[in-house]
A and B are shown apart, each in its own frame.
Chain A
Amino acid sequence: MPTEHQNKPVEFTPAMREDYTILVPMMLPIHFEMIVQILRESGYRAELLRTTGRRLVDEGLKNVHNDTCYPALLVIGQMIDALKSGQYDVNKTALLITQTGGGCRASNYIYLLRKALRQSGFPQVPVISINFTDLAGGTGFKITPKMLIKIVYAMIYGDMLMWLRNQCKPYELKKGQTDKVVDRWIKIMNRQFSSGKFLRVGHNYREILEDFAAIERHREKKIKVGIVGEIYMKYAPLGNNDLENFLIKEGAQPVVSGVLDFCLYCLKNGIIDYKLYGGTKGGKTIKTLSLRYCQHWQNQMIRAIKKHGVFTAPTPFAELEAAVDGFIGKGAKMGEGWLLTAEMLELIQSGVNNVVCTQPFGCLPNHIIAKGMMRKIKNKYPQANIVAVDYDPSATPINQENRLKLMLSNARLTEEFGAAPAAGKPKPILDKTEPAAAISAERDQRETVTL
């Protein structure tokens, strides 16, 4: 029974494929360049939004409930901003968002986006959702098996480029060289997704590794800092104020695991759900199969890096899964769920003791899986140096920077003194200054007490 309250969503129809531009909001700068190219060569006029700036946040604030999580605010802000920019024919534009579904409020992004569209005068704009649970499809947009395989590979290549970039850029002698290599490979891959050559993985991996290895680097030892978190905040420079580059500038080496793990985690959850709560077996078989294939492809990439021997290789998903045992149940599947805990643990177990955990302010799952697990992790690994950084429209970069700097200082302090430095002898301080210089509450309270 449709009621007056319900606003029927605008479908993306097959006819729209012809002349509609599909706008894709940015999340992973490397991956999304490739994914958008895959969409294009599959017949969609897709365009990646590379806009940045405070404007997007303000647009989000105006169009989304301000207590909604920051990623929703940014993504929707970026899209509305694009529609308002005048660069696109708003009657020939569709929006695409990726969604995970599940019990986290993030599953509501598409609804919030539609609401925002209605409220800002673009009710005609259709929204396409790419997701794992088919929350809201459109008949005109279909991911074929061929496209899906390409997208999975785009993630693997993207993960690899991101992974290697972070191992080179902090050490590069010629500034900008690493990013050049990354850009070149995005271009190469984009050509290969059209030609089909992307499947020559062995060859490609070798060449990529050679190219990165050829970047001139110094051998200075840097503090390694892992980045984990809510998926958007973890990866999107727009959300985390370009955290990877910030850490590099501060003299650290970021360690950022790939996005394929997140996809595998989503697949795995379907299987775990069956194990915990029963249900139909049909979905389970497909998920198990997909999981096996993706893991196999991921392992090919990992083996290639190991065989090449210059760079550290990422951890296979199977090991991530194992890392979490005894810490959090795998039934915890909302948001990044047990994966986030697993990533923190995996980092620490592999010697990366310093971890930034990024999250939108007030992120519900992260109360449990991030902040809620830190004590448990620290009890087992006292050397763990984890900082939780909240992002929201009003949190200033300086506030975040200060916290990050604290984490980095902690890292250096630990390196200097060890985890539990022995107490030295007290060194009395001889105060030779005039007593008049001393402050007292009596003299000028309001002036003195607020530091």
Chain B
Amino acid sequence: MSYKIGLDVGSTTIKVVVLDTQDNLVYKSYERHRSRVREMALEKIQSLKELLTGHHLRIAITGSAGLGMAKESGIDFVQEVYATAGAVRQYVPSTDVVIELGGEDAKIIFLKGALEERMNSTCAGGTGAFIDQMASLLNVDLAELDRLSLAHDRIYPIASRCGVFAKTDIQPLINQGAQPENIAASIFQAVVDQTIAGLAQGREIEGNVLFLGGPLSFLKGLQERFIKTLELDGESANFHPLAPYFVALGAALYSKGLSGYRSYDELEQIFTQVLAAPQEVQGMEPLFADEQEYQDFCDRHAATAVEQRDLSAFSGRAFLGVDAGSTTTKTVLLDEDYHILYSDYVNNLGNPITAVKRQLDEIYSQAGPGLTIAGAAVTGYGEDLIRAAFHLDFGVVETMAHFTAAKHFDPAVDFIIDIGGQDMKCFKIKDDTIDDIVLNEACSSGCGSFIETFAKSLGYPITEFATLGLFAKHPVDLGTRCTVFMNSSVKQAQKNGATVEDISAGLAMSVVKNALYKVIRARSADDIGQNIVVQGGTFLNDSVLRSFEKELGRKVVRPAIAGLMGAFGAAIWAMRNAGSQSTVLTAQQLAAFTHQSKATVCGICTNHCNLTVNTFSDGSRFIAGNRCERPVTGKRADVQLPNMVAYKYKKLMSYTGRPGPRGQIGLPMCLNSYENLPFWHTFFTELGFEVVTSGRSTKQMYLKGQNTIPSDTVCYPAKLVHGHIRTLLEKGVKTIFYPCMSYNFDESISQNCYNCPVVAYYPELIKGNVPMDGVQFIYPYISLNDKKIFEQKIIKYLNEYGFALTKKEVQQASEKAYAAYDAHRADICEEGMRALRFAKDHHKKTVVLAGRPYHIDPEINHGIDKLLSSLGFVVVTEDCVANLANAPQTNVLNQWTYHARMYNAARYVSHAPGTELVQLVSFGCGLDAITTDEVRDILRESDKLYTQLKIDEIDNLGAIKIRLRSLLAAMDEREKEHAN
């Protein structure tokens, strides 16, 4: 008999199927390979000796990690999507669309109509692995995650582009006490959205859909989300019992077409040779040259220990510090001499309240009667929640807590880097104040916990995994972008035969390089500082610590309590500010403590924040997820601080059309509309059109247009355009005007007046990707710079659509349009001046929130302006102050109008007391790679702080809030110093 073998070597598992002559499945297996690809392949074949001996064998290899093995063995390789298509064609030919989710790949195959096969782009990897990671974040196993998700009653919006983003979204939900059921379902929904947005790329998923791959066959909750989202009925959604094996089956079927047979012995020999073949190893230098070097390293770092005292024997004043981090909760109790009486570092298992309660319980049970907690402070993500729950005296901004702690170990510290499970924080210290803060952008976060998750997925506990790396011979270079990229780099390394040791060391190097080159963007050790303190749980990993010193070429201080620094700093803070007795819950009060949380949506304003309402046993409540104080206090803030972002937005939203003889014309409220609406609105209204705009951006609107986005790495403001166009279509507009504009108005502050390529030509993309049957989409290339030329051109373009406009009409309308635009600009500048005067008169701090015109859209800025207001800042926009300064000489090509405004604004801020600049940058904005450095340089020259906020569809202000509070704290400190 002849057998066909399909061998599917995935990123983490190996699947084998054997088909007999009649294509019956006689063997199948599915196992994790733990990077032991070659060993497993041989073992697999050997274990089938009985079955295979004496038969004619054909074999094909497939899978993302199978390519290397195929090359080495000379066995035929079949591309995995091709293999899947082959299997589907044979077994489920009625299929129209295949959706397959694997560990790191997501694939979609359209079989009907034009054949299309797609895999996730380099940026959107991680699906199965992502779910794994999320499950471990919630501390449940996958079966539990699945069960939980089925009992959800609401879905939270979670960023759907890549795993790291989603993680940043989920974490605060956990910290706010959102129900695990809802989080679980939201995770699955994120995977669904990712698949649709990233893969379908505008092509409708309809007809019979076959779902393949592990996650989709095991996870009912994920299936449910797909069915619901794609609006499939029971018949059209197919889940095959052999779903995880389809790729392997496809390979087996493919092998049919191959010539020649092999015997079992030949196969065994081939795989033995593959295993024995010397592996091409290219790696980096080992972390330690020898044992001695390692010993020196250990001795040096042992010097930073902190003395402990016995809590039970202690009597006197003590100070509590809590660091409610994203994944862990740290607590430290200090005596007045900085000795540690108690410390604890736990994974908060998604519930920081329980963790702190347990820690407090323990303190009270260990302590003797002489203990007086005189002061208690909390810092970290969960600051507000923990402070409210346990009545702690102080909340400390994370940055200040860490600085305080670091100073204890090195009074001359001028640079602190903290790498935790989820985030990375770096502070530069100058003149004893925090001079610069760098937090990791959502895209390079997750590094610490990534090592942990990776260790787990390879089957090692983290401590063991970290030690493995110390003596790796050839650490692999895994790149520096984000965890998703690292996944595929590891794949590549495995393919090249790297050992687990090499991978462990390579991951440590990656985390370090990420921190240095991605987050800090350092060029040399001197760029960073002379006295560096490293901390955070990740630095307890000696491989990471060593990599850091090695990469930097400088010795650093790692306190032995590296993981506790936030709590340590908070405790010191409490000590310095303490009265006689802390308000923290007493042992008695603690015993009666209970906590409940409920999810709800705030209906007070159009932001519709997802609120989590926490209720405690003493009847007090804590609300999380809000952007302003209104759901808490029930009223607006007492003093309305001027906020130019809100002012500009309101002004634009007040434009309404009036019925006209020429009928309706739709203008999408996106990208350049935030600048040019006054012009176009007036122009068309004067011509007798009823102007209909698409109105406010919302998340729902975004989702409506999501499936027509062809490029998933474009910025969020551009992605929103699709929703705006859909909205106009739904409003029944028959004509939409959305011009292509290479150029902006020339404001004479730059060498040219370009728009960015995306803003300039997005109408072309809309025309090509959004179906608009029966609608005239008018998208001429036009410039507004020369009124005369504009009039000549626009009449021609519009009359092509049969509007029969006369020259005179157009001239009159354009006259008014230019005037309206000028008036609009003048009003904004005037209002901006008023805001600045207000700040001066009332001694308020001012922030210039600098970005593009469309950054005033609350769906894009996520209410950062309101957050700034709530912190007591007067908020003005870059265009209000751009004309208050001369154009700076830039070191980059200053040729984009909106950039030029930012440079001018930075110049203005340089000389404005009590004023700082915060730059909003949309993720994916390539131009801002240029502007951010330049704006920073301009500010730095005048010793101003530079704060950059990267924003995306992520609707979460947690990290941003820390940034802005730190900015405020830094400004306060500078002021204090100035006063002295």
Contacts and interface: CB of A to CB of B under 8 A. Distances in A.
Interface of A: 1-7, 54, 61-63, 65-69, 102-105, 107-108, 110-112, 114-115, 119-120, 135, 276-278, 327-329, 331-335, 361-369, 371-376, 378, 382-384, 388, 390, 392-399, 401-403, 405-406, 408-410, 412-414, 417, 419-421, 423-433, 437, 439-442, 445-451
Given A5-B938, A429-B91, A364 B115 contact: no
Contacts of B81: 406, 409
A153 to B, nearest CB: 31
B757 A335 contact: yes
A395 B943 CA distance: 37
Contact of B92 (A104, A105, A111, A426): A426
A182 B593 CA distance: 82
B711 A367 contact: yes
Contacts of B82: 406, 409-410, 412-413
Question: Lowest 7 CB-CB distances: which A-B pairs, in order?
Answer: A331-B781, A394-B479, A372-B765, A6-B889, A382-B114, A409-B82, A376-B768
Nearest to A62: B523
B710 A445 contact: no
A414 B793 CA distance: 46
B760 interface: yes
B117 A103 contact: no
Interface string B294-308: 000000000000000
Contacts of A449: 128, 131-132, 142, 214-215, 218-219
Interface in B890-948: 890-893, 895-896, 924, 926-930, 932-933, 937-938, 941
Given A276-B793, A423-B94, A368 B926 contact: no
Contacts of B521: 65-66
Interface string B22-33: 111111111010
B907 to A, nearest CB: 9
B760 A437 contact: no
Contact of B93 (A368, A392, A425): A425
A448 B10 CA distance: 12
Nearest to A110: B893
A401 B64 CA distance: 10
B688 interface: no
A406 to B, nearest CB: 5
Contacts of B142: 441, 445-446, 449
A433 B25 contact: yes
Interface in B737-787: 740, 742-743, 752, 754-758, 760-762, 764-765, 767-769, 779, 781-783, 785-786
18 contacts: A65-B932, A105-B926, A107-B893, A107-B895, A277-B743, A364-B927, A367-B718, A371-B711, A373-B764, A396-B488, A402-B64, A420-B114, A428-B91, A439-B218, A446-B141, A449-B218, A451-B10, A451-B11
Given A1-B889, A331-B740, A450 B12 contact: yes
Contacts of B25: 429-433
Interface residues of B, number: 129
A448 B91 contact: no
B554 interface: no
B398 interface: no
A328 B938 CA distance: 39
A4 B932 CA distance: 19
A275 to B, nearest CB: 9
Given A277-B785, A278-B786, A364 B764 contact: no
A4 B27 CA distance: 74
A363 B713 CA distance: 9
Given A5-B888, A65-B933, A107-B893, 9 more contacts: A276-B782, A277-B786, A334-B760, A372-B710, A375-B768, A398-B491, A433-B28, A450-B129, A451-B244
Nearest to A273: B742
Contacts of A112: 892, 930
Contact of A119 (B94, B111, B523): B523
B94 A361 contact: no
B740 A332 contact: yes
B227 interface: no
B714 interface: yes
B436 interface: no
Nearest to B752: A103
Contacts of A437: 27-29
Contacts of A442: 143
B213 interface: yes
Given A335-B757, A427-B23, A439 B244 contact: yes
Contacts of A363: 926
A153 B760 CA distance: 34
Contact of B713 (A361, A405, A417): A361
Quick one: which of B131, B219, B768, B927 has the most chain A CB within 10 A? B768
Quick one: which of A361, A364, A388 has the most chain B CB within 10 A? A364
Interface string B444-488: 000000000000110000000000000000000101110001001
B896 A103 contact: yes
A3 B942 CA distance: 12
